[in-house]
Amino acid sequence: MDFLRRLFKPKEETKDEEEKTDEETFGGPNDGPVTTPLPGSPPQTDNLQTRPLEAPKEFKSKNQLIRFGMASDTGRVRSNNQDAAMTLLTGFETSANMPTLGLFIVADGMGGHTDGEIASAVAVQTIANRVLTEVIRPHLMGQPPSADQRSIPEVLSDAMNAANESVQIEVPNGGTTATVVVVRGDLAFISHVGDSRAYLVTDGINIELITRDHSLVRRLQELNQITEEEAEFHPQKNVLYRAIGQNTSLEADAATRRLPPASSLVICSDGLWGQITENDILTALKESSSPQEACDRLVELANANGGPDNITVVVIEMPE
């Protein structure tokens, strides 16, 4: 019962208590029924979504590098920031011709005044440690891929489960979302749980929501039981049915996307996307001279629209 109370307690309420892949994929490895059925709805039966990866596109300049920005703010209502984020980018200019490798994480903690911020920090640190050890360090050492080396999606899945275990041990009453992106060359490997989001922006005008919210209202929308307008004002709009630290097992969604020239990835907590529109994201990217400026603009806009929650955003910009 304790798990059910934690699982179906609105996130706002708990806070206030002060390259082994050739397909684009989305979903967990067995994206079937959730471990705890959603109230008032049939079990989840989503199928794994796959589609062929787009062919690589040539970048105009070999000298341009990936750029990124990050911003996080407490917002206008909260007294502390329970979000956590991390950015790490490696660039090389050597005879080995090694691709750029980056790690980007956004986590949104929950579970009370201190539990939430500790849970998100523990998750980010645990995930980063696994990825650094099994992906980035071998890359830096120039170790060639081997048959017994795990793929990036496999490492990310293991990292998310390690974070789940760590949060349960260190923060028994806490939980957190996590959206993790590893960029290698022009490929983005994404692992996700909760209701933080990752968007892909291409051609400056097209925006795609890559991740799926693991929230009650999103599930009800998928089942055509409520409309988007009804979801906006649903009394349980902040209830999550899947998050790190909320169950002994965790099934994270996975996705892979090709990043074409001049495209951008936007990773954010619900404190951002819940207060702005997708057009706002496109406008900020278009009118900003750098990813950092875009992040600052988006946080400022979310605050201008009320800032009821913590706000965190990471923008990753591919070269032209």
- For the record, the structure tokens of 169 come out as 């041990």
Judge whether residue 285 has pLDDT over 60: yes
For residues 110 and 195, the answer to whether their CB atoms sit within 8 Å is no
Mean pLDDT within 136-160? 88
Q: Which amino acid is it at 242?
A: R
Residue given tokens 């989001």 in the structure block: 197
The pLDDT value recorded for residue 50 is 56
Mean pLDDT (the chain, rounded): 85
Express each pLDDT in 20-53 by its tens digit.
443 444 444 333 223 334 444 333 334 334 567 7
The pLDDT value recorded for residue 11 is 52
Residue given tokens 């892979």 in the structure block: 256
The pLDDT value recorded for residue 186 is 95
What's the pTM? 0.84
Q: Which amino acid is it at 288?
A: S
DSSP three-state, residue 114: coil
Mean pLDDT within 4-31? 42
Sort strands 175-176 and 83-90 into parallel, antiparallel or unpaired. Answer: unpaired
**67-317 belongs to CATH 3.60.40.10:** yes
